[in-house]
Amino acid sequence: MVDLIHRLRRIAQMAGDARCTTLEDALRADGRGGRALLEQTTPRDVAAALMRLCATLEFESLEHARRLAGWCRMLGAAAGMADAELELLVLGAQVHDIGKLGVSAEVLGNDDALTATELDWIRMHSSLGHAILAGVAGLEAARELVLCHHEYWNGSGYPEGRRGTDIPRAARIFGLVDSYEAIVRDDVGYRARRDHDAARDELCELAGVRYDPELVAIFRAIDPHAWRAVEGGDLPVLRVA
């Protein structure tokens, strides 16, 4: 069993002393999560603890992670994923941003244009998350989603420039859902929220460019009310520790 807490501490050092301090505070505040990371009894417990850690460190909110997981479960089911695959997809959605632990708060919180160096630093987060999850039992598929969730269908994404079906299907599903969530969310200060129809139109325009065209077609066929129900928290889409 890997020493996951030690690994988290090592990655946090990349972001500076302040991040190391906030990590220690977060681990102390969530005793249940700390035990889950130490004992690693189930993949679900580990993923839930990492999800709460991301929220405490303000990489993203719990609501963000839960919306993504709910929408991923819905789109994955519509795409024919079996229950076991859906559970792995949800675990990946919960931990997708854990690599931001190694990116400074100043860079993550910068709403202005990023320098090339800052952009490269942010783009490291998928590789850092992949490194954090190495050897964690039951999170192998989640680890691949973390690595590939910013890869694009045409090969223009990062960190490896994968294209088409070389990108794991779970990561392709997550990437589409993550873009949808970014369009419709209402807690981003630098731009206005747009509605489901605007999100659908933008994703359809980028089918075959950023997104798997088959998944975009499946997305279009889902009743818009189902997407809004997940957004409003009306569906019991997650079992979170």
The whole-number average pLDDT for the span 15-29 is 96
DSSP string, 149-205: TT--TTS--SSS---GGGS-HHHHHHHHHHHHHHHH-S--TTS----HHHHHHHHHH
pLDDT digits 0-9 by tens, 34-73: 999 999 999 999 999 999 999 999 998 898 898 999 999 9
The CATH code of the domain at 4-231 is 1.10.3210.10
Q: Is it the case that residue 192 has pLDDT exceeding 90?
A: no
Pick the residue with more confidence: 135 or 241?
Answer: 135
Residue 51 CA to residue 153 CA, distance in Å, equals 27
- pLDDT on residue 188: 55
Give pLDDT, residue 239.
35
Half-sphere exposure for 111 (CA within 13 Å, toward CB): 4
Verdict on whether the full-model pTM lies above 0.75:
yes
Q: What is the DSSP string of 159-170?
A: SS---GGGS-HH
Instruction: Give the model's pLDDT for residue 1.
Output: 87
Distance of CA 166 to the CA centre of its chain: 19
**Residue 189 pLDDT exceeds 70:** no
Q: What is the 3-state secondary structure (H, E, C) of 63-90?
A: HHHHHHHHHHHHHHHHCCCCHHHHHHHH
Domain ranges of the chain: 4-231
d(CA 70, CA 229): 10
- How many other C-beta atoms are found inside a 10 Å radius of the C-beta of residue 58? 12
Instruction: Grade residue 190 by pLDDT with cuts at 50, 70 and 90.
Output: very low
